[in-house]
């Protein structure tokens, strides 16, 4: 059975529906919030999945595992190990490929639509999906597209929402993995952040039932197609 390394940065930002779609794989977890360290090599793994978290790529002085993860992703790209990065994971992917990661002008939290670029519409992970997709967002940072990367999706607030780097490394700024339960947990845990950003949690709660099924439909399709890249 193919073994996938899953990197988690905080307990509440787990795999969600990604784990459901990969039920046939052997998932091994690297929980850096427990160890404070990251493995340096993807050797022995058939794929690498890097999840989200509240820290910034530029905060390696506070979170030493950041540099370790960047090196891990670099090695995965170099050795053609498929990579799937979500939110912070996408920012780490961009950084590993030499792109700048930085704070955006405002936070993008809640339900938004993203639009596929021309390259995104023809990519194997998005092929046949609608040009506009409902997604759940929770981020303030963003990234430039790496020299060896391509932008696959954009939103009104942030033009770089999904990237492909090299042959088999994908990063998604938005969250397609969340369940309704996870959305509720994030709102409760991050109450102070929502208040500071002047974002109405009730609006997010109201819009979740309207959008979650559509998110899961295309989210599962993306993961299933990513799984086909795994040996």
Q: Which of 8, 13, 39, 177 is catalytic?
A: 177
What does the CA dihedral 168, 59, 151, 193 come to, rounded to 10 degrees?
120
| 2 token code pair | 């193919």
CA angle, corner 21, sides to 175 and 29, nearest 5? Answer: 75
177 in catalytic set: yes
Active-site entry in 9, 139, 160, 175:
175
User: Considering 87, 108, 139, 216, which one is annotated as catalytic?
Assistant: 87
User: Would strands 83-86 and 169-172 be described as parallel, antiparallel, or unpaired?
Assistant: parallel
Cα 130 versus chain centre, distance: 20
The count of other CB atoms within 10 Å of the CB of residue 1 is 7
What is the enclosing helix (H) or strand (E) of 58? none
Residue in 138, 122, 123, 199 with CA at minimum distance from that of residue 16: 138
d(CA 113, CA 132): 6
Does the annotation mark 160 as catalytic? no
Catalytic residue check, 43: no
Q: 116 Cβ partners below 8 Å, 6+ apart?
A: 126, 129, 131, 132, 133, 152, 153
List, in sequence order, every beta strand (DSSP E) within 42-188: 47-50, 83-86, 101-116, 132-143, 149-154, 162-165, 169-172
Q: Which residues are catalytic?
A: 87, 175, 177
């Amino acid at each position: 059975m193919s073994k996938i390394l899953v990197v988690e940065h905080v307990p509440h930002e787990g795999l969600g529906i990604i784990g459901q779609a990969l039920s046939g794989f052997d998932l091994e977890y690297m929980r850096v919030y427990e160890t404070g360290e990251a493995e340096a090599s993807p050797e022995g793994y058939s794929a690498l999945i890097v999840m989200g978290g509240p820290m910034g790529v530029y905060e390696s002085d506070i979170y030493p595992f950041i540099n370790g993860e960047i090196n891990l992703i670099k090695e995965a790209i170099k050795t053609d190990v498929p990579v799937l990065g979500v939110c912070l994971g996408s920012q780490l992917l961009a950084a590993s490929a030499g792109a700048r990661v930085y704070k955006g002008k405002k936070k993008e939290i809640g339900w938004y639509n993203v639009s596929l670029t021309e390259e995104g519409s023809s990519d194997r992970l998005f092929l046949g999906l609608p040009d506009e997709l409902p997604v759940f967002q929770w981020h303030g940072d963003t990234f430039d597209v790496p020299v060896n990367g391509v932008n696959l999706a954009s939103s009104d607030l942030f033009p770089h929402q999904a990237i492909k780097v090299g042959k088999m490394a994908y990063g998604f700024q938005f969250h397609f993995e969340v369940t309704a339960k996870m959305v509720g947990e994030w709102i409760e845990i991050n109450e102070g952040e929502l208040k500071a950003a002047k974002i109405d949690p009730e609006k997010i709660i109201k819009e979740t039932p309207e959008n979650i099924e559509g998110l899961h439909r295309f989210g599962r399709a993306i993961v299933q197609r990513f799984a086909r890249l795994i040996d």
